């Protein structure tokens, strides 16, 4: 029995250190030795040899039993390991590695489960993303962006109970399922999310202020389908974003109509570009002191046989989404420069959407248009918005510089409507800025509005920029802006956008509604406001 004990102790020592293959090999050796000891015991003539063989045989039996039990436990362990690994793999596949929130796969599975289960019929879905997240990534780097996402997840988690799922479903996009179909509740949720995410974040000493755009859809998950509800919530969010609204936007039939309108616009646009349905209107921009025509802004006008007049506010974003903006920009540049060839000493201004501005070869395309029209660069200026400058700052800066090196003036449009215009003025050298028409609403009536306008004009001048006020609708505004030393004025008071022929006639007459002497004579309300 000593040998048997020795065997089992050896086996005990190596327990856990052998692989399944090694156990199998050991088992085979034991069976072989068992067989040999049986043969020896039967054939041996000497008693001591026989007894030795029998004890070897018994030791082998014990070893065999021990080792098979071990093999079973090894098998069980490896099965358990496999099951655990599988569970972890599933868990990993369904969790967002960065934030630990459920990911898109998990979110879709939950929606799918809701479709199958009777318990959840009507649900609410919220879709939201982070405003300015791209800016954070671009300007502060991806590590800070990642940390921001983690902190966002930390703030979101306590807002949701176990029955309310919140998931990160892509980049800076999140979605939540609430098993309720109450509009009031969903708005409350919107407010909670908004409040949680608008408190500034402190990441490695950077104070980061972000906001969120939120859309929601309420529906019967069995009838509408989870995927469709998510799509509606996404579209509602898109709408909230395009209106720069911090309120949760609920998907409704009006939005649905608007979206189908967008779809028609998208379908109709290629034909419109080919069939000359898109024309340009020209709005004069005059010198604020003399009223003399300085330049004209070209504005697209689309008379569609299917849709009627399509507003540029609708057509331009659709063209940007569908890639037709390049063709639209080409058309605008070509047509505006054609009209410029028919008048003297007046620049035409063309609005350039961020998508068109970022196209590679944009500067070359503009230069080619000038060459084709036989015009110098002093006959064209471009209006760009903050959107151009927000992302890909370096590239945008290079493009602005290349255009200006060619002699093409670049103006910052809609100044004051964005959120960080001052930093753009600091970083980008441009020829001028156009103060957004919303600034003019209270001008001449509220002292504060007048002071702000004065500051913006002074700011532009301190950066050597020409300052243009747009949306001038009455004489008061015009007079006050002149007194505030604004350089140029544009608006219905001087002229509404007009057809090319009308504009050419206007340019020939070069009518001035606002001779300097007229203003000096008159002590209107604007002047009163100035002295207040
Ligand atoms: P924007 O660049 O700010 O253009 C000025 C808008 O103000 C024009 O609207 C113009 O008709 C309007 N407007 C002019 N004077 C007055 C006024 O005294 N009072 C008021 N309330 N409005 C005035 P429109 O033509 O509807 O264009 C809307 C926007 O669509 C433009 O805003 C511009 O951002 C975009 N857009 C227009 N044409 C083009 C284009 O050819 N290409 C691109 N990318 N965008 C364009
Ligand atoms: Ca403009
Ligand atoms: Ca504008």
Is any ligand 1 atom within 6 A of the Cβ of residue 131?
A: no
Is any ligand 1 atom within 6 A of the Cβ of residue 304?
A: no
- 3-state per-residue secondary structure call for 37-68: HHHHHHHCCCHHHHHHHHHHHHHHHHHHHHHH
Is any ligand 1 atom within 6 A of the Cβ of residue 277?
A: no
Q: Please give the DSSP secondary-structure letter assigned to residue 394.
A: H
**402 CA to middle of ligand 1, Å?**
26
Q: Answer whether residue 419 shows pLDDT above 90.
A: no
Which ligand 1 atom is at minimum distance from the Cα of 356?
44
Tell me how crowded residue 196 is: count the other CB atoms within 10 A of its CB.
Answer: 15
**430 CA to middle of ligand 2, Å?**
15
Q: Is pLDDT larger for residue 245 or for residue 69?
A: 245
Place of tokens 């964005």: 418
Backbone angles phi, psi at 177, to 5 degrees: -110, 130
90: Cβ–Cβ under 8 A, 6 or more apart, which residues? Answer: none
In whole angstroms, give the CA distance from residue 206 to residue 412. Answer: 28
For residues 405 and 431, the answer to whether their CB atoms sit within 8 Å is no
Mean pLDDT within 398-427: 87
Q: Answer whether residue 400 shows pLDDT above 60.
A: yes
pLDDT given for residue 531 in this prediction: 36
- Considering only CA atoms, which residue is closest to atom 19 of ligand 1? 471
Strand (E) or helix (H) holding 232: helix 226-242
Place of tokens 């503009």: 366
Which ligand 1 atom is at minimum distance from the Cα of 312?
30
For residues 512 and 286, the answer to whether their CB atoms sit within 8 Å is yes
In whole angstroms, give the CA distance from residue 159 to residue 290. Answer: 60
Q: E strands, 369-408, where?
A: 380-384
Mean pLDDT within 411-427: 80
Is any ligand 1 atom within 6 A of the Cβ of residue 320?
A: no
Ligand sitting nearest the alpha carbon of 383: 2
In whole angstroms, give the CA distance from residue 18 to residue 389. Answer: 64
Q: Return the C-alpha torsion angle 68, 71, 75, 81, nearest 10.
A: 150
Residue ranges of alpha helices (H) inside 275-324 are: 312-322
Is any ligand 1 atom within 6 A of the Cβ of residue 315?
A: no
For residues 42 and 94, the answer to whether their CB atoms sit within 8 Å is no
Least confident of 5-9, 65-69, 158-162, 489-493: 5-9
In whole angstroms, give the CA distance from residue 149 to residue 6. Answer: 61
Is any ligand 1 atom within 6 A of the Cβ of residue 242?
A: no
Q: What is the CA radius of gyration of the chain?
A: 38
- Considering only CA atoms, which residue is closest to atom 15 of ligand 1? 491
- Considering only CA atoms, which residue is closest to atom 22 of ligand 1? 471
247: Cβ–Cβ under 8 A, 6 or more apart, which residues? Answer: 190, 194, 214, 240
Q: Is pLDDT larger for residue 525 or for residue 73?
A: 73
**470 CA to middle of ligand 1, Å?**
10
Write down the mean pLDDT value for the chain.
Answer: 85
pLDDT given for residue 76 in this prediction: 59
Q: Is pLDDT larger for residue 441 or for residue 305?
A: 305
In whole angstroms, give the CA distance from residue 445 to residue 319. Answer: 39
For residues 236 and 215, the answer to whether their CB atoms sit within 8 Å is yes
Place of tokens 């939950």: 110
Q: Is pLDDT larger for residue 128 or for residue 43?
A: 128
Around 157, how many Cα atoms within 13 Å sit in the side-chain half-sphere?
A: 10
Which ligand 1 atom is at minimum distance from the Cα of 383?
2
In whole angstroms, give the CA distance from residue 126 to residue 248. Answer: 9
Q: Which burial class, exposed, middle or buried, applies to 204 when counting CB atoms under 10 A from its CB (0-12, 13-18, 19+)?
A: exposed
Q: Which burial class, exposed, middle or buried, applies to 99 when counting CB atoms under 10 A from its CB (0-12, 13-18, 19+)?
A: buried
pLDDT tens digits, one per residue of 195-231:
999 999 999 998 898 989 999 999 988 888 888 899 8
**Could you give the percent of the chain with pLDDT greater than 70?**
85
pLDDT band at 437 (very low <50, low <70, confident <90, very high): very high
Q: E strands, 209-342, where?
A: 212-220, 249-250, 278-287, 293-304, 308-310
Q: Residue 452 is encoded by which pair of tokens?
A: 């702000």
pLDDT given for residue 375 in this prediction: 97
**460 CA to middle of ligand 1, Å?**
21
pLDDT band at 183 (very low <50, low <70, confident <90, very high): low
**404 CA to middle of ligand 1, Å?**
23
Which ligand 1 atom is at minimum distance from the Cα of 319?
44
**414 CA to middle of ligand 3, Å?**
4
Give the three-class secondary structure for 415.
strand
Q: Answer whether residue 134 shows pLDDT above 70.
A: yes
Of 449, 450, 489, residue with least CA distance to 466: 489
Tell me how crowded residue 112 is: count the other CB atoms within 10 A of its CB.
Answer: 14
Strand (E) or helix (H) holding 404: helix 393-405
For the residues of 160-205, what is the DSSP string, one character each? S-TTSEEEEEETTEEEEEES---HHHHHHHHHHHHHHHHSPEEETT
Which ligand 1 atom is at minimum distance from the Cα of 385?
34
Of 361, 414, 369, residue with least CA distance to 389: 414
What residues have their beta carbon closer than 5 A to ion ligand 3? 413-414
For residues 470 and 286, the answer to whether their CB atoms sit within 8 Å is no
């Amino acid at each position: 029995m000593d040998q048997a004990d020795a065997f089992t102790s050896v086996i005990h020592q190596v327990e856990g250190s052998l692989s399944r293959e090694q156990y199998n090999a050991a088992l085979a050796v034991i069976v072989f030795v068992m067989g040999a000891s049986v043969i020896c015991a039967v054939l041996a003539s000497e008693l001591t040899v026989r007894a030795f063989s029998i004890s070897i045989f018994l030791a082998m039996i014990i070893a065999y039993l021990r080792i098979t039990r071990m093999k079973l436990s090894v098998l069980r362990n490896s099965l358990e390991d496999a099951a655990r690994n599988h569970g972890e793999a599933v868990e990993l596949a369904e969790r967002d590695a960065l934030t630990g929130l459920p990911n898109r796969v998990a979110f879709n599975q939950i929606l799918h489960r809701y479709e199958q289960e009777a318990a959840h019929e009507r649900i609410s879905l919220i879709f939201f993303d982070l405003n300015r997240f791209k800016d954070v990534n671009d300007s502060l780097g991806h590590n800070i962006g990642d940390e921001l996402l983690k902190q966002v997840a930390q703030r979101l988690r306590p807002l949701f109970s176990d029955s309310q799922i919140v998931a990160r479903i892509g980049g800076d996009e999140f979605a939540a399922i609430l098993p309720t179909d109450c509009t009031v509740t969903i708005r409350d949720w919107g407010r909670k999310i908004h409040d949680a995410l608008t408190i500034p974040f402190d990441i490695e000493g950077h104070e980061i202020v972000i906001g969120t755009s939120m859309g929601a859809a309420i529906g019967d998950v069995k009838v509408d389908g989870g995927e469709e509800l998510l799509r509606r919530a996404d579209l509602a969010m898109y709408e909230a974003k395009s209106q720069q609204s911090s309120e949760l936007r609920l998907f409704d039939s009006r939005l649905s109509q608007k979206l189908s309108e967008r779809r028609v616009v998208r379908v109709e646009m290629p034909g419109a570009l080919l069939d000359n349905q898109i024309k340009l209107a020209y709005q004069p921009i005059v010198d604020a002191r003399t009223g003399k025509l300085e330049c004209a802004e070209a504005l697209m006008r689309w008379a569609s046989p299917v849709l009627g007049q399509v507003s540029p506010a609708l057509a331009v974003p659709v063209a940007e989404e569908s890639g037709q903006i390049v063709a639209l920009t080409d058309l605008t540049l070509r047509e505006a420069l054609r009209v410029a060839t028919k008048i003297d000493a007046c620049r035409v201004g063309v609005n350039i959407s961020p998508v068109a501005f970022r196209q590679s070869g944009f500067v070359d395309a503009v230069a080619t248009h000038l060459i084709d029209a036989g015009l110098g660069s002093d006959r064209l200026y471009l209006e760009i918005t903050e959107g151009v400058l927000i992302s890909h700052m370096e590239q945008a800066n290079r493009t602005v510089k290349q255009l200006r090196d060619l002699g093409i003036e670049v103006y910052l449009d809609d100044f004051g409507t964005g959120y960080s215009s001052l930093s753009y003025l600091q970083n980008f050298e441009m020829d001028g800025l156009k103060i957004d028409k919303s600034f003019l609403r209270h001008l001449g009536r509220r002292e504060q509005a007048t002071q702000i306008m004065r500051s913006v004009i002074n700011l532009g001048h301190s950066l050597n920029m020409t300052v243009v006020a747009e949306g001038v609708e009455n004489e008061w505004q015009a007079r006050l802006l002149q007194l505030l030393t604004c350089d140029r004025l544009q608006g219905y008071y001087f002229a509404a956008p007009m057809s090319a022929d009308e504009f050419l006639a206007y340019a020939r007459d070069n009518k001035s509604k606002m001779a300097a002497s007229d203003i000096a004579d008159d002590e209107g309300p604007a002047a009163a406001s100035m002295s207040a």
